Amino acid sequence: DAGITQSPRYKITETGRQVTLMCHQTWSHSYMFWYRQDLGHGLRLIYYSAAADITDKGEVPDGYVVSRSKTENFPLTLESATRSQTSVYFCASGAGGMTDTQYFGPGTRLTVL
């Protein structure tokens, strides 16, 4: 199916565990983004990527790791999950970077116990 997908859609984990959230897009967009959305904070940029093997930090990168070996995939890893990382995570992609339209995936709701 064309578009942008995220998996899993829901995840419950425990403090200290490693968690990887997956993001896949079929548009061949150059840019991909990871955001977290918490009540009262809106969307906050975690990491973004301008192309395969090019990634850069956003507003709140601490505790997260990303990689982008293929244009269509942009996984986000929480190396040692903490309760403060409980959030809804959105992946987005776009052809023109942050000055252009971003297309968001359906989101992953992560709960860290």
Among residues 14, 53, 59, 79, which is the contact residue for other proteins, using CB under 8 A? 59
Of the pair 2, 42, the CB lying nearest other proteins is at: 42
**Residue range at the interface with other proteins (CB under 8 A); choices 23-31, 43-51, 63-71, 73-81:** 43-51
Q: Residue 25 region, left (φ>0) first, then alpha (ψ -120 to 50), else beta? A: beta
- Quick check: 15 binds other proteins (CB under 8 A)? no
CA distances from 74 to 16, 41, 69 (A): 22, 23, 8
Please name every residue paired with 24 in a beta bridge, in sequence order, or none if there are none. Answer: 5, 73
What sign does the dihedral 76-25-57-109 (CA atoms) show?
negative
Among residues 14, 45, 70, 73, the one that binds other proteins under rule CB under 8 A = 45
Kindly tell me which residue out of 7, 30, 73, 104 binds other proteins, with binding defined by CB under 8 A: 104
